[in-house]
């Protein structure tokens, strides 16, 4: 089945959204039991963590950890926003640089100025979007970023989106409360799908869409540790307490180039495999044997794959043992933690 399909459904009683591309599960969003990323709190500074430059803060949903804090005294009230999911037993990760993000617009209170996505290069289109931005943000001290999907979009839709984010920012930032409180909930899977999966796609909203569109069959693979590779090889992906271990297996191919082919196939598919499983943190790749001269090509394929991935990932590089390491933001709930 060719093309892109977005399916909005329920999965084991949880709101969920799936993106199928050419018949393969390309992305998956599932609601969890923890606070959603994007949630904004009025929080209270609790205690600093010496040596880490961070501060524990109190929120209505429990303790959170704020990194890179300077000059913040215990007891001070501040706004923080959830940036990801916490590991069991750890504090929520938050930031004090609050953003208000929608499909077309991102309002940036701490970064004044009107900006257009650099991927929009047509000067006439940029001028059109700047005109909309100036009209909607007139008199506001906040900054604005218009996202790449604004290109060619309807003027009214963009204007309404900017207006909604500006109004939300003004409401939250004018809050005068004095106790920890939730000021804005993060977006759920269905809203996130509308917000972030902006390329043209068929939309399926009927109940039972996951079964009809093959999502449940794809989840059988994603729940396991094995991911098939083109050419007959496999990835074995196992999450441990410390890191995610990925082993590349060449399968039945015993040719001299088998390791190189399997590693390059891994480079192309790893981002998607981690994305649908919701895995992040430290990731170590135990690659199949290949000549050192092929390492640069492998890195290029890997970098290209993760550049298009919505979850922030840093390619750390090679270890003395020949493993390749990555550091990936914990922006999703691991699939194994939300599905029985």
pLDDT in tens, 95-128: 999 999 999 999 999 999 999 999 999 999 999 9
331 pLDDT band, cuts 50/70/90, is confident
Is the predicted pLDDT of residue 182 greater than 80, yes or no?
yes
18 within 8 A of 317, measured Cβ to Cβ? no
210 pLDDT band, cuts 50/70/90, is very high
The contacts of residue 320 (CB under 8 Å, 6+ apart) are none
Is the predicted pLDDT of residue 143 greater than 80, yes or no?
yes
**Which domains can be identified in the chain, with CATH numbers?**
40-95 (2.40.50), 100-187 (3.30.230), 224-338 (3.40.630)
> What does the pLDDT read at residue 52?
74
> What does the pLDDT read at residue 203?
97
104 within 8 A of 162, measured Cβ to Cβ? yes
pLDDT in tens, 265-279: 999 999 999 999 999
pLDDT in tens, 298-325: 999 999 999 989 999 999 999 999 999 9
Is the predicted pLDDT of residue 165 greater than 80, yes or no?
yes
**Partners of 184 in beta bridges:** 40
Token representation of residue 130: 């700047």
Token representation of residue 271: 């981002």
Distance CA 225, CA 211 (A): 22
> What does the pLDDT read at residue 271?
96
pLDDT in tens, 88-104: 778 999 999 999 999 99
> What does the pLDDT read at residue 338?
87
> What does the pLDDT read at residue 254?
83
> What does the pLDDT read at residue 115?
97
Residue position matching structure tokens 């590349």: 248
Segment 323-332 shows an average pLDDT of 93
Is the predicted pLDDT of residue 53 greater than 80, yes or no?
no
Q: Name the H helices within 204-291.
A: 209-212, 215-223, 258-277
Across all residues in the chain, what is the average pLDDT? 94
Neighbouring C-beta atoms of residue 257, cutoff 10 Å: 13
> What does the pLDDT read at residue 45?
93
Residue position matching structure tokens 């992906």: 237
pLDDT in tens, 69-93: 887 888 999 999 999 988 777 899 9
pLDDT in tens, 244-262: 999 999 988 888 899 999 9
Percent of the chain with pLDDT over 90: 84
pTM for the model: 0.91
Element (H, E) at 77: strand 77-82
**What are φ and ψ of residue 153, in 5° steps?**
-75, 160
CA distances from 236 to 136, 224, 244, 273 (A): 50, 9, 10, 10
């Amino acid at each position: 089945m060719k093309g892109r399909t977005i399916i909005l459904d329920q999965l084991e009683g949880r709101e969920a959204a799936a993106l199928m591309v050419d018949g393969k599960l390309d992305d998956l969003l599932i609601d969890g039991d923890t606070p959603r990323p994007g949630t904004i709190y009025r929080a209270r500074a609790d205690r600093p963590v010496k040596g880490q430059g961070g501060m524990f803060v109190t929120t209505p949903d429990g303790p959170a950890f704020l990194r890179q804090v300077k000059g913040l005294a215990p007891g001070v009230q501040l706004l923080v926003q959830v940036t990801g999911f916490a590991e069991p037993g750890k504090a929520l990760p938050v930031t004090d640089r609050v953003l208000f993000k929608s499909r077309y617009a991102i309002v940036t209170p701490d970064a004044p100025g009107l900006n257009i996505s650099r991927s929009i290069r047509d000067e006439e289109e940029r001028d059109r979007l700047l005109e909309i931005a100036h009209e909607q943000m007139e008199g506001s001290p906040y900054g604005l970023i218009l996202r790449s999907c604004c290109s060619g979009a309807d003027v009214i839709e963009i204007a309404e989106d900017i207006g909604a984010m500006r109004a939300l920012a003004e409401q939250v930032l004018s809050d005068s409360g004095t106790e920890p409180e939730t000021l804005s909930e993060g977006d759920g899977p269905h809203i996130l799908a509308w917000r972030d999966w902006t390329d043209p796609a068929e939309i399926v909203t009927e109940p039972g869409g996951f079964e009809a569109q093959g999502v449940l069959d794809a989840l059988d693979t994603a729940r396991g540790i094995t991911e098939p590779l083109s050419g007959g090889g496999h990835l074995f992906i196992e999450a441990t307490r410390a890191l995610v271990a990925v082993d590349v297996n060449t399968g039945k191919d015993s040719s001299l180039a088998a390791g190189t082919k399997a590693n390059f196939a891994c480079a192309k598919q790893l981002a998607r495999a981690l994305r649908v499983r919701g895995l992040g943190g430290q990731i170590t790749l135990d690659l199949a044997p290949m000549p050192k001269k092929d390492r640069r090509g492998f890195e290029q394929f890997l970098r290209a794959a993760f550049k298009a991935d919505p979850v922030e990932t840093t390619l750390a590089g090679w270890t003395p043992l020949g493993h390749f390491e990555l550091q990936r933001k914990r922006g999703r709930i691991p699939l194994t933690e939300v599905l029985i």
